[in-house]
Amino acid sequence: MKGTERRHLKTDQLVHGMQGVVAFFRKWRSQIVLAGLLILALGVVFAGLRIIRAEQAKSRSRTVSEILALRADLPKVPENAAKLEALAGKGKSGRLASLSLATYWMEQGRPDKAEAALSSIKDAGRDFQYYQVKSLQAEIALAKGDLDGSLAILAKIVEENPKDYLLDSVLFRQAEALELKGKEAEAVALYKKLQTEYPQSYYGYEASLKAVRMEGKPGAAALNSSPNGL
């Protein structure tokens, strides 16, 4: 008897609970449906955003590959310059296209065209490409005979000391500009600094040759002391 009563009690509780759920749903049906639709819509939007971002990443990857291929073939296929110019203004990969084109024009001895190629680049923060642009601008200024302008750009890079951008090329350009300005003692000091701090790099090796050559010149005894203590 007691077992039967317990079963009836459990059944009544279950029925009562179900009735409560039904009553709750009836009372708040519109709000529940609306909330469900909202959750579904958010899920669709989130999934759509993920798909869009994935497609954008694929598109950027294809564009970067295209830019690198165009740059590699540029010496043999001058027509690629026009294609790089067209890509220079497109999205996040545009800076790479502009940089690729500018370096090509510098190789061709055309700093004016290199400067024009860089003019379309917008500042996107101090990342690796930002310092590539600044270094190239300093090189362009040096090629055009603007020694002070080149030194100012290079000094700013050294002052900021970016973590992800090696300064060996920057210091080498600084030393070259100082040498051209006739400040040979400062130039030699920088070449030696490069030789010491970047012994395994191309610029460290070139700097060692420069220092030896300059110190071997007649009247080079004064080069052993640097007014700036470099």
Report DSSP letters for 118-131, one per residue. HTTPPP--SSHHHH
pLDDT in tens, 131-180: 999 999 999 999 999 999 999 999 999 999 998 899 999 999 999 999 99
Phi, psi of 90 (to 5 degrees): -110, 110
pLDDT in tens, 65-96: 889 899 899 889 999 999 999 888 676 788 89
- pLDDT: which is higher, 113 or 26: 113
| Mean confidence (pLDDT) of the chain | 79
Please give the helix or strand (H or E) that residue 113 lies within, else none: helix 111-118
Query: What Å distances lie between residue 59 and 33, 64, 80, 127, 149, CA to CA?
Result: 39, 9, 20, 21, 38
Phi, psi of 48 (to 5 degrees): -65, -40
When pLDDT is averaged across residues 21-40 and rounded to a whole number, the result is 62
- pLDDT: which is higher, 37 or 185: 185
Is-contact 173 134, C-beta < 8 A? Answer: no
- DSSP class of residue 201? S
- DSSP class of residue 163? T
When pLDDT is averaged across residues 184-209 and rounded to a whole number, the result is 93
pLDDT at 229 over 60: no
Packing angle, helices 111-118 and 128-143, rounded to 10: 150
pLDDT at 226 over 50: no
Is-contact 161 167, C-beta < 8 A? Answer: yes
pLDDT at 120 over 60: yes
pLDDT at 206 over 90: yes
The CB density around residue 98, as the number of other CB atoms within 10 Å, is 27
